Structure 1
Amino acid sequence: MTASQQAHSVRVAIPWVTTVARLILGVTLIVAGGLKIGSPAESVVAVKAYQLLPDSVATMVGYGLPILEIVVGVLLVIGLLTRVAAVVGTLLMAAFVFGIAWAWAHGLRIDCGCFGGGGQLPGGQEPQYPLEILRDFGLMLCGAWTVRFASGRFALDSALGLAGRTYQVEEGESY
């Protein structure tokens, strides 16, 4: 394969990789927010368990986080305001990585509360901090990729002319 063919293959793959990254982050945020929104008190307990924020701020974050996750997730899945939603999603994942690392470094034994629940772990149950950090870091990379390459395929941004810069792939085809 020549360098030109390789470059063409990469240019063709980028919008598909972006679409997959956008959907992985979006669906994960929708699921996480959806599992928490029905039990806002548990979400507040989960945020407070990190011991990072004053109680009043932790309460506001606990109530607001599920809504924010769902809104950002939906925007990513439908591809509307994709770059903005991806920035917010990436920042959320960075905050989650930081929070989990904080809990681990401070010897807290908590459930991250990422998909509902949260708070102190029962006796005999061990935290899964390394896996949680790895998962959220991977999601953060999906968000960063989406910020860099924007909408991808099947995005409302493209249909509404909001996609911004496009890349020429072949005569007449852009993304």
Structure 2
Amino acid sequence: MSTKIPATKDTRSLDVAGILARFGMAMVWLWSGYTKFIDTFGTTQSILAYELFSNRQLVNFLAIALPVTELLLGALLLLGVFLRASSWFGAALMLVFMVGIAQAWARGLTIDCGCFGTGGENPDVTAMTYIKELIRDSIFLAASLYTARRPFTRFALHP
């Protein structure tokens, strides 16, 4: 006699959502980290555009640490290692990014966020640009939180 409970339509739907959230965020972090990693100068310019840090050594450190962190997060999610912890960390990092974008908008800066590559000053940026970025990041935040609360552990090395 089997002790396995058969999957219902509801649990299958939750599994599909878990697959999309986990692997979707893995791709987001891997792509974001890769585009920053291959262009450290552009990443430095993006960070400077936020006008938050005056210490150049700190900015240079962040320009290296940020893409490495994002690549590591993506790899952990893809491989299924520490799914809950990496998802919570990813959600926290996404919140930091959202606060950064919101404060840039509130201060009247016209910058590309630099989320997926080179950012910096951009006179074409409007309020709608910031709204779209915040909506996109809210979706990423929701996916991270979903993965943290209900990680899809199939194909995971160490959930």
TM-score range, shorter chain: 0.7 to 0.9
Q: 2:119 & 2:44 partners in 1: Cα distance?
A: 9
| Contact 1:49 1:119 (C-alpha < 8 Å) held by counterparts | yes
Q: What corresponds to 2:17 in structure 1?
A: 17
Q: 1:44 & 1:136 partners in 2: Cα distance?
A: 21
Identity %: 31
In the TM superposition, what whole-angstrom CA distance separates every residue of 1:23-78 from its partner, at most 9, and x where no partner exists? 11110110011111111111111112112234333322122101110110111112
Q: What corresponds to 1:29 in structure 2?
A: 29
Q: What corresponds to 2:4 in structure 1?
A: none
Equivalent residues in 2 for 1:48-127, closer than 5 Å? 48-55=48-55, 56-121=57-122, 123=123, 125-127=124-126
Equivalent residues in 2 for 1:134-145, closer than 5 Å? 134-145=135-146
Q: 1:64 & 1:48 partners in 2: Cα distance?
A: 15
RMSD (Å) for aligned C-alpha atoms = 1.7
Q: 2:15 & 2:54 partners in 1: Cα distance?
A: 42
Q: What corresponds to 1:167 in structure 2?
A: none
1:126 CA drift (Å): 2.1
Once superposed, which parts of structure 1, at least 4 consecutive aligned residues long, lie more than 3 Å away? none
| Runs (5+) with no aligned partner, structure 2 | 1-6
Q: What corresponds to 2:3 in structure 1?
A: none
Q: 1:148 & 1:20 partners in 2: Cα distance?
A: 14
In the TM superposition, what whole-angstrom CA distance separates every residue of 1:1-32 from its partner, at most 9, and x where no partner exists? xxxxxx94222322221121011111011001
Q: 1:53 & 1:151 partners in 2: Cα distance?
A: 38
1:155 CA drift (Å): 1.9
How many residues are treated as equivalent by the alignment?
150
Secondary structure of the 1:156 match is: coil
| Contact 1:29 1:70 (C-alpha < 8 Å) held by counterparts | yes
| Runs (5+) with no aligned partner, structure 1 | 1-6, 158-162, 164-175
Deviates more, 1:39-48 or 1:104-113: 39-48
Letter of the structure 2 residue corresponding to residue 51 of structure 1 = E
Q: 2:157 & 2:13 partners in 1: Cα distance?
A: 19
Q: What corresponds to 2:44 in structure 1?
A: 44
Larger Rg: 1
TM-score by length of 1: 0.79
| Contact 1:15 1:152 (C-alpha < 8 Å) held by counterparts | no
